[in-house]
Amino acid sequence: MIDPADLQQLERLLQRHGITLQHRLGQNFLVDPQTRDAIAEAAGTNGDDEVLEVGAGAGTLTIALAPRCRRLVAVELDLRLIPVLRDVLAGHTNVEVVKSDILRFDVASAFPKGGEVVAGNIPYNLTGALIRKLLDHPPRPRRLSLVVQKEVAERWTATTGASLATVAVQVFAEARMVMTIPASSFTPAPKVDSALVTLEVRERPAVDVDDMENFFRFVEAMFQFRRKQIGGTLARIAQAPSADTASRLRELGIDPVRRPQTLTLPEWEELYRAFNPRFGR
């Protein structure tokens, strides 16, 4: 339940700094203190951890994360919010406020050994690109604890590769939906509900392939035709006869009439191994 006093306090803070929230930046700030504390707790941090917060905003979550870690790097794109963050976080000497686009932020320089925990309320249009940025290359974080659109959370935690982002998440991490967060927990309220997802990053990727970049290019090419049967799609991108492609798929135990979003990670790996040499040419 939202405490009106918390909402009024946030509104006064923004008014004092002359700030109006901007929809184009995905600025929907959490105003439910119980949900905020539950999100901070789910990050699973301790006094030795380093934390990267994505989209710190007005510091609503930052203030709950700060006492739970040794070092917190709070990244925020909106220059107008930097004074707000410094105001809210005054006295928290373990917090570094950074004005940056998270997609351009040098995470490896900030956390050269990896193993950090990433937390944040992620703008809905940023999720796919952010996951690839954080997980595609080492050093990787230890855990991600992210508030995302509920539909995105459902894709990430699906049992099959429902999208390119789903495959990317599941190759590098084990995803779990912790809780659903109603739109009313934010101001301004978004049009859809959100969910908190934790991603426990794997020590080794879940697929064993020769070239991870090429593997994701292969998956991406397949999803260009997500409504088509995989037999026809593979024949097209591998430039192979449809009959040969269908025969090879049946040898792998995969029905050629299936769609890409129905494939499991082991099946993606098998397809890549079987068809990638042709795909590469």
What is this structure's pTM?
A: 0.85
Query: Is position 129 within any domain?
Result: yes
Range of the domain at 154: 4-201
Q: Taking the CA atoms of the chain, what radius of gyration do you get in angstroms? A: 21
Instruction: State which of 174, 201, 228 marks the end of a domain.
Output: 201
Q: Phi first, then psi: what are they for 263, rounded to 5°?
A: -80, 140
Q: Where are the alpha helices (DSSP H) in the chain?
A: 4-16, 33-42, 62-65, 82-88, 107-110, 127-135, 150-156, 164-172, 212-223, 230-238, 242-251, 265-280
Do residues 255 and 159 share a domain? no
pLDDT digits (tens, 9 = 90+) for 119-136: 999 877 788 889 889 998
Of the chain, the percentage scoring pLDDT greater than 90 comes to 65
β 50-54/71-76 pair status? parallel
Same domain, 147 and 252: no
In a domain, 206, yes or no: no
**Overall number of domains in the chain:** 2
| Residue 280: predicted pLDDT | 47
Cα 11 to Cα 68: distance, rounded to the nearest angstrom: 26
Apex CA 214: angle with CA 144 and CA 199, to 5°? 10
Helices 265-280 + 212-223 axis angle, to 10: 100
Residues 222 and 181 placed together within one structural domain of the fold? no
